Amino acid sequence: MKLFITGIGTEIGKTVCSAILVQYFKADYWKPVQSGDLHYTDSHKIKAWTDDTLCHPETYRLKLAASPHQSARAENRQINLDDFQLPETQNALIVEGAGGLMVPLSDDTFMIDLIEKLKLSTALVVRNYLGCINHTLLSIMALQQKNITLEYLIFNGNFPEDTERVISNFITKETKIIKIPEIESSDKEHITAIAKQLKITKL
């Protein structure tokens, strides 16, 4: 099982959800591009929040906390899709993207192009806010246009019933649904507890 974790935007809990799935599937972890926070990366967080997880090294580590294409330009670099290769492992693998599907890696390549290049199924993380339905449905449409499989839809946190229903009605029966409750604290104890109780359902 190899899965790319993406989201409908930035700061919606992709890393927390990745940690829960790493714990649930006993998977390795890989963050292809880390922009900023090099002193405490998403790989550092996964190691702190899970049990002895193997975190594969990032392909790009960029200092500026910004969109990857901007962070790379600040260092006179350019992100090239050909530089990315899936880590070799016998374990399950959780791959976490940066931001949403249309986050630019360069002036003409985007996160969705990386998913396509790696030939991975996706899990789309959704968080409730005004506009999340629009962002979710547009993200699902973008994946469909690229023929990228939406393996899981992850509702991260509490959702109004009306919001959840409209979003759920837009996915196919092949897509499985994961509901992750509001997490009190991003730490190993809470991540482990949620992973143990995780339920994966279908429509």
Does the annotation place 164 within a ligand binding site? no
Q: How far apart are CA 55 and CA 43, in angstroms?
A: 6
Does the annotation place 94 within a ligand binding site? no
CA torsion, points 94, 97, 102, 103, in degrees to nearest 10? Answer: 180
Is 119 annotated as catalytic?
no
Does the annotation place 16 within a ligand binding site? yes
Per annotation, catalytic residue among 2, 26, 31, 47 = 31
Residue 91 has which token pair? Answer: 């374990």
Does the annotation place 35 within a ligand binding site? yes
Alpha-helix runs per DSSP H in 9-61:
14-25, 42-49
Residue 1 burial by Cβ neighbours in a 10 Å radius (0-12, 13-18, 19+): exposed
Residue 134 has which token pair? Answer: 């629009």
Does the annotation place 182 within a ligand binding site? yes
Does the annotation place 46 within a ligand binding site? no
Does the annotation place 183 within a ligand binding site? yes
Does the annotation place 72 within a ligand binding site? no
Alpha-helix runs per DSSP H in 50-187:
68-74, 111-118, 132-145, 161-169
Enumerate the known binding-site residues for ATP: 11-16, 42, 96-99, 181-183
Enumerate the known binding-site residues: 11-16, 35, 42, 96-99, 181-183
Enumerate the known binding-site residues for substrate: 35
Enumerate the known binding-site residues for Mg(2+): 15, 42, 96
> Catalytic site residues?
31
